[in-house]
Amino acid sequence: MSIYLFVLCTSFIINLIFIIPFINLLYKLKFQRGKQETKDAFDKRTPIFDSFHKAKVGTPVGGGLMLVVTTLILFLLFSFIFTALKVPVISNFGQVINEIKIILFTFVFFSFLGLYDDISKILFLQKGSFFGLRLRHKLFIEIALALVVSFWIFKDLKVDFINIPFFGIMHLGWFYILFAAFVIVAFANAVNITDGLDGLASGSLAVALTGLWAISVSILDTPLSLFLVVWIGGMVALLYFNVYPARIFIGDTGSLSFGATFAVIGLMLGKSFALPIIGGIFMLEIVTSLIQLLSKKFRKKKFFPVAPLHLWLQLRGWEEPKIVMRAWVISVMFAIIGLMIAFMQ
C-alpha cells in the first residue's frame, strides 16, 4: 500500500511542476477555447451554455492531453522500476502484457479521437459539424474502438460475465463484446458531457477512480493498481488548476480518453454492475441528455428546459462552484455505495 501512495504523490508533484509551463505553451500556440471563432458563430451553436460561459473564452484547452502523456510516461517508468526492484507484479488474468495492452490502447486511441475533435473546434470548425467532428462520425469511431477493446477483454482476458449482487455470475458469451462496447461508449460520452463546468468532471473522476483503485488493491492486481494511482495523482494536480475559475480545460482529448478507460478498468475488475454507481454523477449527466434528445426526436419538444443536469441547475440560478462542490459530495457517496456493492459480489 505504501509504495502505491508514494507513486500517487510522485505523480501529483511531477504533474504540478509541468502544468504551469504547459499552460503557458498553450497560450503561445493559441490552443484556447473560442479564440479562432467569431463571437456571433460562438453564440449561435449553444446559446444557453455560452450565456453562462462567455467569460471563459480564451482559456487554454489541453489539460487532458498533458495528463495522458504524463500518465503514460510515469506508468511505464514505474513499471520498469517495479521490475528492476523485483516488486511482485500480480495479474488476475495470467499475462500482464495483455492487461497493459488493453489499458494503454484505450487511453491513447480515445485521446487521439478527442484531440482531433479539439483541434477541429479551435482551428477549423466546419459548417454543419458538431464542434469539430460530425456527431455520427465521432460515434462510429468510438464504437469501432470500443469493439476492439471489448474483443480483447473477452478473448485475451477471458472475461465474459457480469456479477449481479444476490443473483451471482451471469455469463454472456460473445454477447459480452456488445455489452462491454456499449459501456465503454456510454462512459466516454458521459464524462465528455459532464466536462461542462470548472472542476466538475475532473473532481468527480478523481473520486470515482479512487473507488476503482480500492477494488484493484483488494484483488491484488498490480498493473491496474499502479496505473490508477499514477492517473489519480495527475488528476488531482490537474484539478488544482481546473477548479473555478479554471486556468485550463480538460478538453475532449481527456474526457473521451478518461471516460472510456474508466469503463474499461471497471469491466476488467469484473465490477460492471457497480461501475455506473461509482460513476453515478456521469450517469446522471448522460441520462438527462439522453432523455432530452429522445424527447425532442419523438415528442418534438423538450423534456427539460435545458440539458444536461449541470446546465439545468445553472439555468435555475445555481452558481457554478455550488453545483460542482455538491457534485463532489454526491460523487463520494456514489463511490461508497458502489464499493459496498462491489465488495458484496
Tell me the binding residues: 192, 252
Residue 314's Cα: distance from chain center in Å?
22
Cα–Cα dist 189/260, whole Å: 8
Any long-range contacts for 168-173 (C-beta under 8 Å, 24+ apart)? Answer: none
Contact 207, 332 (CB under 8 A): yes
Cα–Cα dist 173/161, whole Å: 8
Phi, psi of 84 (to 5 degrees): -65, -35
User: What count of Cα atoms within 13 Å lies in the side-chain half-sphere of residue 175?
Assistant: 5
Tell me the binding residues for Mg(2+): 192, 252
Q: Of 157, 155, 49, 3, which is closest to residue 93 (Cα–Cα)?
A: 157
- DSSP H helical segments within the chain, as ranges? 2-29, 39-45, 47-53, 63-84, 96-123, 135-155, 175-194, 200-218, 222-242, 251-268, 275-278, 280-294, 309-315, 320-344
Phi, psi of 277 (to 5 degrees): -85, -45
Cα–Cα dist 255/190, whole Å: 9
